[in-house]
Amino acid sequence: MSIQSSLFQYWETLYPNESTQILETFLDTLSPADDQTQINDWYKDAVVYALYVDLFNKDFKGLIDRLDYIERLGVNCLWLLPILDSPMRDAGFDIRNYDRIRIDLLGLDDRATQEEEEFVFTQFLEEAHGRGIRVIFDIAINHVSDQHPWFQNALSSEDSKFRGYFIWTKDTSLYEDARLLFKGIEPSNWEAAGDWYYFHRFFSFQPDLNYRNHEVLLAMSKYLLYWQSIGVDGFRADAIPYLWKESGTSCENLDNTHIIVKFFRAVLDYVNPGSLLLAEACQQPNEVVKYMGDGDECHAAYHFPLMPMMFKAIATGDGEPIINTLSHQVTPEIPENSQWLSFLRVHDELSLELVYVSEADRKLIHEHYCHEPAWDFRVGEGISARLSELMERDPKRITLAYSLMLSLTGTPVVYYGDEYGKLNDTKYYQEQIQLTGKDDTRFLVRGRVYWDDLSKNLDDKENFHSRVLATTTTMLNTRKQHQAFGRGDTEFLMIKDDTGTPLKGILGYTRVYENETLIIFNNLTPGNLKFERPMPDQDLILLFSQGFAVNDSEETLELEAYGVAWLKLAES
């Protein structure tokens, strides 16, 4: 079936009572790609670096100045956390205008035209692309800021055409089965506006969009196409499971939500195949894989459950949580052109929602890593702390955590600052409480990069930040040289100690792609471990290690506490 035929099919599913002429008129405004079937799966070989432009280095000019640093780090894809125009009450996820970038990020004044804004942004894109660095950014497609012109117009009159862009009621029992996502922060999914209430799944100043209105779908499609035409390489679709609402359901993962996503993917592929659509779906893997469809929804999705299981494995000294999570019983196979994204930390909390951890796991991880009461998020459902803080500023454990993320299945995401062991930013957290009026502890894990202080720390090779950055840089650049890390099959190994007894403390696995076989060992424990050498007849090439030793006479290997080793079969 052609992309155009698929678009009409999706339209008729979502809007059976609307004329297809509306869609025809929309498609007539587009210039279809000559080859809509080409496969461009660049994201499988990506090393992604997530950052806030302003917090990283003030604005896009400042970011250009730091592209050499990012390139040296081994990064080839930038994920720009919210950059679109916003009043910044939710770090930019509250979007006020979808076709404008925040003026402070562009170094322009309020009188700048849209053309002048585009020029600054495209300059940045050209600089990044010139270094082989692709650029994706966040776009919240479920909700807008209450300062968005659509919502302001809707508030002005019940007769406004934009009233139908949102969901209104006087009976707040509507959608009563929709869980409260911001428990402990928001008391309800409904917010009063005069005699009416509007629906929101996140903050009360972020009204949800009403995708039952076809004008919303087409408007959002036009915005995606606009940024695609500017040169953006893809989009992280924020809060994707909540797009369609139906009474009597949880309002999550509904069939029509998937149809909306298919529509967005088809529109992007219709004009320029290869623009990444990345699903942010905080769900169990068997639900998340549905957002990749049959290769016709999102190209990639975050593997949310893997993240806490990596932390659990380090806490317990046992790799079983990871092995179980990546088994086909928990993580179904995904389409050939799809990809998982793995991460240790992002701009949000270390999430422990019961959607993908058990109550026992949540308790264990929270008790092991929430070292300060102030780090608690959503009444025990998460921990707001930087990776270095979670690992108690221990370079060995930080390296181990990175080894797991970088060598297990998927494309890795490095959160800005974590590469050098950035700490929680209490000053920034307090500033944001004053600005937003919300005690959102996630602001602890954001914060600015203080380059002058950092440069002094990095000049001292024995400094904590310098040591962490040197190791992380080596690991990232090593990973980028071997496609098996991003594309290879994963097979876990039975590791035995020198007496032949199974050893849970070492998590070992192979990554195989075409003629390349990589072998990874991670010591998840705080003690030295000696173990039998797998494939004793094979010659191995060491790619990277921490606390690793080989005893050829005994045909054993040894890893120090939290040690790691990445090796490659010599003949592969």
Q: Which two tokens stand for residue 558?
A: 């040894």
Beta-bridge partner residues of 541: 568
Residue 300 Cα distances to 1, 35, 274, angstroms:
22, 22, 12
Q: How many residues does the chain have?
A: 572
Cα–Cα distance measured from residue 8 to residue 12, given in angstroms and rounded to the nearest whole number: 6
Alpha-carbon distances of 221 from 27, 98, 216, 265, rounded to whole Å = 11, 11, 9, 9
Whose CA is closest to 350, among 392, 312, 400?
312
Find the helix or strand (DSSP H, E) in which 414 lies: strand 411-415
d(CA 567, CA 520): 6
* Residue position matching structure tokens 């050498």: 533
> How far apart are alpha carbons 32 and 442 in whole angstroms?
42
Give 25's contacts (C-beta < 8 A, 6+ positions apart).
none
Question: Distance between CA 128 and CA 68 in Å, rounded?
Answer: 10
Are 20 and 12 spatial neighbours (Cβ–Cβ below 8 Å)?
yes
3-state class (DSSP) for residue 520: strand
Q: Among 479, 349, 357, which Cα is nearest to 411's?
A: 479
Which residues carry out catalysis? 238, 280
To which residue do tokens 């600089």 refer?
127
Euclidean distance between CA atoms 570 and 567, whole angstroms: 9
Q: How many CB atoms lie within 10 A of CB 97?
A: 17
